[in-house]
Structure 1
C-alpha cells in the first residue's frame, strides 16, 4: 500500500448530477496563507464564501472574494453551444444546468477534478492553488471527441468574504491587460483569447446562507471570457488568477496542478501514516497550518474562521507533532508566547483585533508546550519559555482578567465576569451566555492541574507547590455520588450531563483516574458516530438540531450539538485504561466523503442521522482524530 498518496474520493453521475447530493459535498484547496478556492461537487455555489480565488489579508480571517467562477461554454462541431456552469437565482431557478452533464468528480491527492460528457466529447477540469501565495491555476482539458471551442466566462467581485456586493453600488473596476484583466487593482486574471465584457449577473442565490438566516443573494460582474480551440485529446486551456504583485504571475496552471499533487504527497509521507485514514487526515491537517507575516499560525476552520488561540492549542499535537512539523510548531509556540499579557494568551479574533477573553486558551498553551517537549526532547525551548510559563502560573495564582484566580480555599481556578463566556462553551445570544459556567468548570480545573504539573516538571517550584493543593481540592469537590463529575462547582446548577469531565481523566497529568463503568455511562448518553454530544438527550434545554438563524444556532451550539474534537479526550480516557476506542475511531472514516471532502466538520446534529453543521473543514476536529489514532 502506498501511504504517500491518499485514497481518492470519487463520485459518479448519480451523485454529481443531483443538486440534493452534489451541492452538499464541498471541496477545499488552501493556499497556505489563509486563502483558498472552495466549492461543491456539482459546481453550484451555495455559500457567499465559495469561489476560485479567496484572498487572505493581514490576518487569515480578513479575506476577500475575488474570482467567483469560471463558467465553461462549449461550442461543438455542429455549432451548438453547451453551458457547463450551474447557478441558482433569486427566484429559485437553476440555470444553466451544467451539473446534469457531469460524468464524475474526484478528489485526488487533494486536487479536485471534474469530467463532463457531452455525447462523445469529454472535458476535464482541475484546480489547484500555489502553495504560499494567493494564486490559483484552472485547467480545462479535452479528453475525448473534438474539435471544440471552449470559452471560460469570468464572474468577478471584490468584497469582504463575509458580505455581499450588489449592483446598487458601482461595478468592480476592470482594467484590460495584454492577456486578461486586472480587477479593482487587487488581482489579475490571465489566459488565452480574452474578450472583455462588462455586465451584472443579478440575483445569484446562496442556499446555504439562506438556511443560516443570512442574506442569500448578491450580484456578480461578468468581466470577460477566455477562449481556445481544443482540436485533439490532450489539448487544454489554462487560466491563472492571483493577488499581489501584478507581474508576479504564477506558473502555467497545469504545472500548478502537478506541483500541488507532488507537494500533497510529500505532506502525507512526512506524517508517516499507518493507514489510509491517517493519510487522509494528515493531508486534511495541512489545510489549517498557514504562514502569515507574523509567522506560522492555525486557521480554526474554513470557510469563515481565522486564528483562535484555544483552537490552535487544542489542535497543536495533531497538526504539528503528528504530522512531522515539530520545527514549525516550535516557531508557533514561541510566537504565541510573545502575546502573553498578565499571564494570559492573546485570543486573536476574526476581526483582526486582539482580546484576552478565554480562561482555557492559556492552559491549553501550557499543555501544547508540555506535549512538544515530551515528544521532541526540546529542552532548549523549555528553558527559553520557562520564564513565560512561570508568569502564567504567578498571574493565575494572584488573579488576572475576568475574575480568573486560584481560590486559596481549595487551590482551584475560578473565573467569571458578567456577560462573558470564557470557556470553550462560549456561545452568547444578545450578549447573554447560553451555557452559564461562571465558577470553577471541571475541564478548566483539569487543565489547570495539568498545566501546573507541566510547569513543575519543567522546573518551577511555585507550580509544584500549587499542584498538591489543586489536586486535593479537585478530588474533594468534583466527584458526585454516582461516579460522575460536577460540570461546575461554586457556580450555576450543573446537574446536566456534559462531556467536559472527560478532560479530568484524559490529560497527561489528569487529576483523576478513569473508571470503566463511568466512561460506559457517558458513552451511552453522549456518544454518536461523529463524537460526543455537548449535552445528553432529554436534558432540559437539549437541542437535537443545529440550524436556523444566528441566535437559533448559537442557542444549540453547546446544548446537544455534537463536537468531533471531543473524540480525542474520550479516546484518551479509554487509552489510560489500557483500551483503544476502536469503534469510535472507525466511525469517523465514513464522514470523510460526506460533507467537507477529506476532512471533518466542526459540529453535527445531536439527533440521528447527525447531519454535519458549522464549518465543513475544522482544525481541532481533524487534529484530535488524527492525534488519537497515533497513540
Structure 2
C-alpha cells in the first residue's frame, strides 16, 4: 500500500493537520474518525461511532481519550487538542507531534517531549462495534499517563448540550458504562463527572451548521509507563456490554493482518491499487438484512444508485464476488413497480431515482460477465424483465418509455430524479426533465444486458427484444448535436424548453458502458477534456455556461446550488477513462494526476467532490464509495 505519512511540519500545524482525516471502520457501518493533528473539526469525529439497524442510523459514543503525560520531573504535559466556542485552541498537543502515518490503513501518532516518545494506535474489531486505543512508550521515561474520557451519546448529525440531562455513567469493573449504551475499559479508572462546554467544530461552522456542543468528562484511566515498550490500552464497545473484546494490542494486530489480506485479495498491480482496494473495504458492510454499501463517511448510509455505480469496483475488482451475489439478490427482492428504492437515509424509503434501477441492471450484467455466474442470471431474469416491463408501461414520477421513440423520459414537479439530484428549498437545481442522455444510455445498455443474459440462460428476454433496437436507433438520431460537428451530445432532449446542449459529463455514459449506444469520437472526448477535466475528475458543468459555480462551499443552500453546476465529481473519472479505452487510448496520466489526493483529504481514499475552480480543494464526504470504486475500476482498465 502507498505510504501516507506526515512529519511535524503538517502535524504541528493547526490548519494543515486538521485538513487531513483518517478513518477506521468496523464492517457494520460504524467507525472511528478524526484528523492528523487530533483536532476534532466535525460533529462526526470520535473514537466510537455506532451503527444502528441501518448504517445511516449512527450514534456517537466515546468522543476522545485525551492523553496527559506527567514526566519524571513532575511536569504535566497535555497532548490533546480542542477548539472552543470563543476561538481558542487549548490544549495544543499537536505542537508536540513528531509524526503521523497510516500503517496498513491504521492511524499511528508519535508525540515527542524531549527524550520521551509516546505512540498511539487505533483499530476496530471487524464485525463488532468496538474500538481499541493502544499507547506505547518508545523512548525515555518513566512517565505517568492519564487518559481522560470525553463522552456523549447522541445522533451523529446533531449535538448534545448541558441544556439536557448529563450522560449517566455507571462505574463497573475496569471502567464505566455510559447511558447504558457502551462500555469503556482500561487501567485504573477514576470517575469524574463534568461538562466540557462549548467545544467547537470548524468544519460544521464552514458548512453553515451548528458548530458547538458540550461533552461529558466521564473519568480517566491511569498507567505508569516505566520503560520503552510499556503500553497502556483502552477499549470501548457498544454491543454485549458483558462480553469484552480481545485485548487492544491483539485488535490492532488482527486489523493490520486483515487489511493486508484485503489488499492482496484484489491482486493489485501497484501500491495505489492496493491502497484503493483497502479503501473500498470501508464501504462494504454487513447489516441485519445482508451485505450493503455505505455511500460515504461520515454522514451517508446506503444509497442504491451509489451502490450499483460502485458495484464493479467495490465487489468484482476486490475479490468479493460471492458477497456481491448476495447483495444483488437482496436488492432484486426489494423491487417495487420496477424500481429500486433510492435511500432510507431521510427516515423513509424513497423511490425517487430514474437511474438507480438501470444501474442495477448494469451491475447484474457486469457480475455475470466477469464471474460467469449464469445461475444468478437465470434466477434474476424474471425480476429484470419486470423492470423492463414497468419502464415500458410507465412507473413513478413520470418515468416511462415514450411510445414514439422507445426512449426513457422522466420528470415530476419538485423532483430531481437523475444523479444530479440537489434541491434548494424543495426546488430542483438541475431537474433535467425530459430524456436525459445518461438515463437513456443506461436504458439501452440495460435492455441489451437483459437480452444477453436471457440468451445465456436460454430463455425469453421478453419486451427488451423489441424495445432495444427502437431505442438504439432513436438515440443515434436524437442525441448528437449536429451543429457542433464534433460528436458532442445533448444533455437532455425533449425537455420543457426543448433540447438542452449544456456541456455536462453525463454523455460520457453514452460511450463508456458495455452496450453503449454510440462509439465515442475523439473530438468529442477532447472537447470534454478541455472544458471539464481537472486533476480530480470532470466538472459537472462547463465553466462559463449559465449557472456555473466554481466553489462548492458555504451554507447548505449554497453548497447544494453548486453540487451539480460545476463541482468536480471524481467518480466520473471511470466513464471518462472507459470512453478513451474504447478507442484504444490510455488515460494513465488522467489517473496519475489524482495520486496525490490519497494523502490530501480523506487519507488513503477519494473524496466525494471538489471545487470546480483551481486549486480544486476537496469537498463533501472525505471518503466516498463510488469515487473509490470508479478510480479502482479505471486503473484496472488502463493497467498492464
1:492 shift after superposition: 4.3
Is contact 1:59-1:352 (8 Å) kept?
no
Is contact 1:428-1:555 (8 Å) kept?
yes
Pairing partner for 1:205 from 196, 200, 208: 200
Partner of 2:154 in structure 1? 159
SS at match of 2:463: helix
1:319-468 superposed matches below 5 A: 319-459=314-454, 460-468=461-469
1:111 shift after superposition: 0.6
1:588 shift after superposition: 1.2
Query: What CA deviation, in whole Å up to 9, does each residue of 1:70-102 have, x standing for no partner?
Result: 000000001110000000000000000100000
Residues of 2 paired with 1:425 and 1:351: CA distance? 17
Partner of 2:457 in structure 1? none
Query: What CA deviation, in whole Å up to 9, does each residue of 1:352-372 have, x standing for no partner?
Result: 421111000000000000000
Query: What CA deviation, in whole Å up to 9, does each residue of 1:117-145 have, x standing for no partner?
Result: 00000000000000011100000110000
Partner of 1:506 in structure 2? 512
**Structure 2 residue 121 is the aligned partner of structure 1 residue 126:** yes
SS at match of 1:107: strand
1:19 shift after superposition: 1.1
1:264-303 superposed matches below 5 A: 264-303=259-298
TM-score normalized by the length of structure 1? 0.99
**Structure 2 residue 218 is the aligned partner of structure 1 residue 223:** yes
Pairing partner for 1:95 from 82, 90, 94: 90
Partner of 2:103 in structure 1? 108
Is contact 1:343-1:393 (8 Å) kept?
yes
Is contact 2:417-2:431 (8 Å) kept?
no
1:579 shift after superposition: 1.1
Pairing partner for 1:178 from 173, 194, 211: 173
1:496 shift after superposition: 1.4
Query: What CA deviation, in whole Å up to 9, does each residue of 1:327-383 have, x standing for no partner?
Result: 000000000001101100122221342111100000000000000000000000000
Partner of 2:304 in structure 1? 309
Is contact 1:436-1:492 (8 Å) kept?
no
**Structure 2 residue 490 is the aligned partner of structure 1 residue 495:** no
Partner of 1:520 in structure 2? 526
Query: What CA deviation, in whole Å up to 9, does each residue of 1:140-163 have, x standing for no partner?
Result: 110000000000000000000000
Residues of 2 paired with 1:353 and 1:420: CA distance? 16
**Structure 2 residue 474 is the aligned partner of structure 1 residue 470:** no
Partner of 1:609 in structure 2? 615
Partner of 1:486 in structure 2? 490
Residues of 2 paired with 1:583 and 1:75: CA distance? 51
Is contact 2:510-2:517 (8 Å) kept?
yes
Query: What CA deviation, in whole Å up to 9, does each residue of 1:459-479 have, x standing for no partner?
Result: 204212100000011011110
The count of aligned residue pairs is 626
SS at match of 1:221: strand
Residues of 1 paired with 2:181 and 2:562: CA distance? 39
**Structure 2 residue 59 is the aligned partner of structure 1 residue 64:** yes
Residues of 2 paired with 1:588 and 1:35: CA distance? 28
Residues of 1 paired with 2:420 and 2:496: CA distance? 14
Pairing partner for 2:235 from 236, 240, 243: 240
Residues of 2 paired with 1:593 and 1:349: CA distance? 32
**Structure 2 residue 535 is the aligned partner of structure 1 residue 534:** no
Partner of 2:6 in structure 1? 11
Residues of 2 paired with 1:152 and 1:181: CA distance? 14
SS at match of 1:385: helix
Runs of at least 5 residues in structure 1 that lack an aligned partner in the other structure: 1-5
SS at match of 1:151: strand
TM-score normalized by the length of structure 2? 0.97
Segment drifting more, 596-605 vs 244-253: 244-253
Is contact 2:29-2:50 (8 Å) kept?
yes
Residues of 1 paired with 2:471 and 2:344: CA distance? 31
Moved over 3 A (4+): none
**Structure 2 residue 627 is the aligned partner of structure 1 residue 626:** no
SS at match of 2:615: coil
Is contact 1:7-1:108 (8 Å) kept?
no
Is contact 2:481-2:501 (8 Å) kept?
no
Residues of 2 paired with 1:7 and 1:533: CA distance? 27
Query: What CA deviation, in whole Å up to 9, does each residue of 1:159-195 have, x standing for no partner?
Result: 0000000001110011000110000110000001100
Residues of 2 paired with 1:545 and 1:368: CA distance? 33
Is contact 2:337-2:395 (8 Å) kept?
yes
Is contact 1:339-1:345 (8 Å) kept?
yes
1:269 shift after superposition: 0.6
Pairing partner for 1:558 from 550, 557, 564: 564
Partner of 1:3 in structure 2? none
Segment drifting more, 346-355 vs 38-47: 346-355
Query: What CA deviation, in whole Å up to 9, does each residue of 1:498-542 have, x standing for no partner?
Result: 000000000000000000111001100000000000000111111
Residues of 1 paired with 2:396 and 2:167: CA distance? 45
SS at match of 1:96: strand
Residues of 1 paired with 2:347 and 2:323: CA distance? 22
Query: What CA deviation, in whole Å up to 9, does each residue of 1:438-466 have, x standing for no partner?
Result: 11000000000000000011120421210
Segment drifting more, 518-527 vs 244-253: 244-253
Residues of 2 paired with 1:53 and 1:404: CA distance? 42
Is contact 1:156-1:221 (8 Å) kept?
yes
**RMSD in angstroms over aligned alpha carbons?**
0.7
Residues of 1 paired with 2:383 and 2:173: CA distance? 54
1:219 shift after superposition: 0.2
